[in-house]
Amino acid sequence: MTTVKFDAYHYPMLAKYCQQFVAPDRPITGRDREVQKVLGNLLRPEVSNIILLGEPGVGKTAIIKELSRVDTKRTYVNVDLVAMASNEGNTDAALSMANRMKKMMEDEVPRYQENSGHELVLFMDEFHLIAKISPMALQALKPLLAESGARHVHIIAATTNEEYDKYLRHDKALYERLQQLHVPELSTANVMNILRNMAKKYVDDASDIDANSKYDIHLAQKHIDDGMLHEIIDLTNRYEPDEVQPRKSILILDALIGRARQSHQPINLKMLQQVIMDTVGVNTAWEVDIDGVRNYLNQRVLNQKQAVEMVVNRLYTSVTDMNDHNRPQASMLFVGPTGVGKTELAKSLAHVLFNDDNRILRFDMAEYADLANIDLLRDRLAAGVAEHPNAIVLIEDVGKACYAAVQILAQILDDARLSDSHSHQQVSFKNTYIIMTANMEQTTDPWLEQQDVADSNYLANYDKYIRSRLTDPQISTLHFPRELINRLDTIVPFTSLSVATLSQIADKKIAKLVQMAKLAHHVDLKVAAEVVPFLIKQTSKNANSEDDGLAIKRRIDGEITTRVARMLFEHPSCHTLSVVINGENNNQHIDVIAD
């Protein structure tokens, strides 16, 4: 193919805003259909323009590269629309773009074609930018679009379906002048061929690289087998559902090759798992120790064995990949009194699944009790999961949500998809764990409490029992629609906290405080044995009985942590602090003393 070097003196617009495509060394796989359709369209006698519609990364630009390889009779040129819209010298961007577009199309392009004898095919990626930035520039294009065949000047535009619908579809004249060609995602077989070609170029041919290069880019292997390439495709399809092939697989293979060059280690499954962890944030190498998970959750959430067992029971399905792949990984409703560990169990599960307590997207449904906030909920859910597709979505106090919000949640549980209120772009929830919480005082029946929580019959009996309670308006005040309840995988019960459990919670929090004082200030913090019973007694006397777990933590913060912090500030040289009970009868109180 003849190399085009635009003369900046005679063709300043072409030289500044256009660049010729360089034909690839190898054929681009999987786009024969699209290439032939474009070539046929370019031969039309009147309107020979086309617009490629497809998601980012699907391969629209690759089609043009392949055209530049197979069609040597034409010159394929990329038009930089962003640069063309730049407002140099404080000029209006819209007017600047229109003037530049008009001069280039009406003067330089025909003059260049006449002088060179080459037909020009102008590729305009992100074509919607013209309508968005400068409608005047779009108007300047329309005469050329209408007579493209006669002038032998062709435009191939490209944008996404979303941007086309938003900025271009309503323009009837433009619609008639641009033939639409939808570019679908490539099949797995075609993606495999692309990865093979990429591997051959950068791995198999590594021995051909100049040995005198200052960069050491040789690999510790001469071939990547198909099994590894299949693994790349499978993992990207599973953990990057909102991205498209082949881009997502190409990026992972590119990262693997870079890492292999740096480490001088062969590309293997372990390296792939590390790259996925670094780029997507998912530990695909995680090997589940269910007994270990059970023990860990029971350590984090005290005396809620029934709840832990039901969560673990659901995990069996998710971690063995036996769940419905068109729904979230799991959907669970945590029900029970306030302050008994529902949120703590969600955090603990995030640690187990993602090694991060904070891999949680939290939504308080009290904020969405009003229909006016429904678009805000939709947008926040979609944006949160788009940014963190592998996470726990925690829906707190779901009983407070308005009916429209409940319908959104039901849709997510049903097909793991949601679009925001603006772009309507679909976001996948397939890799999320949906956990809803609801405050309900009585979640178990005395007969059920006597059963073995690990027994499958018990789990079935409990599930039937709690679903009937939640949907019975005479029992539950939560107003759960049956369509939401029926879509949940598991309903997880939490019981009220006993005095012994409250004591464990207090001991655990005080132990952390003792550790902090030692590590941060080198101070020994001693807590008298009677402090915890005193705190529990005061908490039970003053707090809502359904809020004991949170109340005991608040009381420790208010009566111990704050006083300890003040003593540390006022007595920086002390080495020992004691937390004691002073006073008698109803006048007893907590004191912190510097020894």
507-520 pLDDT tens trace: 999 999 999 999 99
For residue 250, give the amino acid letter.
I
Q: What is the C-alpha to C-alpha distance for residues 476 and 482, in angstroms, rounded to an integer? A: 12
pLDDT of residue 296: 95
Q: Which residues, in sequence order, are bridge partners of residue 394?
A: 362, 435
Nearest to 328 by CA among 234, 242, 438, 411: 411
Cα–chain center distance at 165: 24
Return the percentage of the chain with pLDDT > 70, whole number. Answer: 89
Nearest-10 crossing angle of helices 342-354, 290-300: 140
Compute how many other C-beta atoms are within 10 angstroms of the C-beta atom of residue 113. 16
CA 351 from centre of chain: 18
Whole-number pLDDT of residue 411: 94
Q: What is the pLDDT of residue 479?
A: 61
Contact yes or no for 10/41 (Cβ under 8 A): no
Nearest CA to 340 out of 489, 556, 561, 544 is that of 544
Compute the average pLDDT of residues 24-31: 86
pLDDT digits (tens, 9 = 90+) for 248-296: 999 999 999 999 988 888 899 999 999 998 888 788 877 778 889 999 9
In angstroms, how far is CA 181 from the centroid of its own chain? 29
Residue 277, φ and ψ in degrees, nearest 5: -60, -45
Long-range (24+ apart) CB contacts under 8 A made by 78-82 are 78/18, 78/19, 78/20, 78/21, 78/123, 78/125, 79/17, 79/18, 79/122, 79/123, 79/124, 80/17, 80/18, 80/19, 81/124, 81/125, 81/126, 81/127, 81/129, 81/130, 82/126, 82/129
Measured between its terminal Cα atoms, the distance across the chain in Å is 88
Q: Which pLDDT does position 355 carry in this prediction?
A: 83
pLDDT at 444: 54
Integer CA distances (angstroms), 140 to 130, 133, 174, 467, in order: 11, 13, 12, 64
Average pLDDT (321-336) is 91
* Cβ partners under 8 Å of residue 116, min gap 6: 4, 75
For the chain, domains (ranges, CATH) are 12-182 (3.40.50.300), 188-280 (1.10.8), 290-493 (3.40.50.300), 499-594 (1.10.8.60)
- In single-letter form, the type of residue at position 404 comes to A
List of residues 6+ apart from 39 with CB closer than 8 A: 67, 70, 71
pLDDT, mean of residues 301-329 = 90
Q: What is the pLDDT of residues 201-247, one digit of tens each?
A: 877 655 544 444 544 555 666 778 899 999 999 999 988 888 899 99
What pLDDT band is residue 445 in, cutting at 50, 70 and 90? low
CB-side neighbour CA atoms (13 Å) of 194: 26
Which segments of 88-241 does DSSP mark as H helices, in order?
93-103, 109-116, 128-133, 135-146, 148-151, 161-167, 172-177, 188-199, 226-239
Average pLDDT (362-380) is 94
Question: How many CB atoms lie under 10 A from the CB of residue 573?
Answer: 5
Distances (CA, A) of 8 to 4, 97, 115, 350: 12, 18, 15, 59
Tokens of 355: 């090694």
Tokens of 499: 């005095």
Peptide bond into 246 cis (omega under 30): yes
How many whole angstroms separate alpha carbon 423 and alpha carbon 425? 5
What pairs with residue 419 in β-bridges? Answer: 426
pLDDT 10s digits, 133-181: 888 888 888 888 888 888 888 999 999 998 999 899 999 988 889 999 9
Spatial CA neighbour of 341 closest among 230, 496, 171: 496
The more confident residue out of 475 and 24 is 24
Nearest to 63 by CA among 73, 53, 174: 53
**In angstroms, rounded to a whole number, what is the distance separating the alpha carbons of residues 129 and 506?**
60
For tokens 């019981």, the residue is 495
Q: For 431-444, how does the pLDDT look when each residue is reduced to its tens digit (9 = 90+)? A: 999 999 988 765 55
pLDDT averaged over the chain? 86
SS3 for 273-342, per residue?
HHHHHHHHCCCCCCCCCHHHHHHHHHHHCCCCHHHHHHHHHHHHHHHCCCCCCCCCCEEEEEEECCCCCH
Strand partners, 413: none
Q: What is the mean pLDDT of residues 485-497?
A: 89
| Phi, psi angles (nearest 5°) of residue 290 | -60, -40
Q: CA-to-CA distance for 420 and 378, rounded, in angstroms? A: 6
State the Cα–Cα distance between residues 48 and 155, nearest whole angstrom. Answer: 8
Q: Quickly state the pLDDT bin for 423 (edges 50, 70, 90).
A: low
| Burial class for 530, CB neighbours closer than 10 Å (0-12, 13-18, 19+) | exposed
pTM, two decimal places: 0.71
Strands 153-159 and 119-124: parallel
CA atoms of 370 and 86, how far apart (whole Å) = 44
Over the stretch 461-485, which tens digit does the pLDDT of each residue have? 777 777 777 777 665 555 677 778 8
Place of tokens 């400068």: 134
Q: Are 437 and 397 in contact (CB under 8 A)?
A: yes
Least confident span in 80-94, 109-123, 269-283, 300-314: 80-94
| Lowest-confidence region among 113-127, 208-222, 391-405, 490-504 | 208-222
- Please, are residues 259 and 275 in contact by the beta-carbon 8 Å criterion? yes
Torsion sign, CA atoms 242, 248, 249, 252: negative
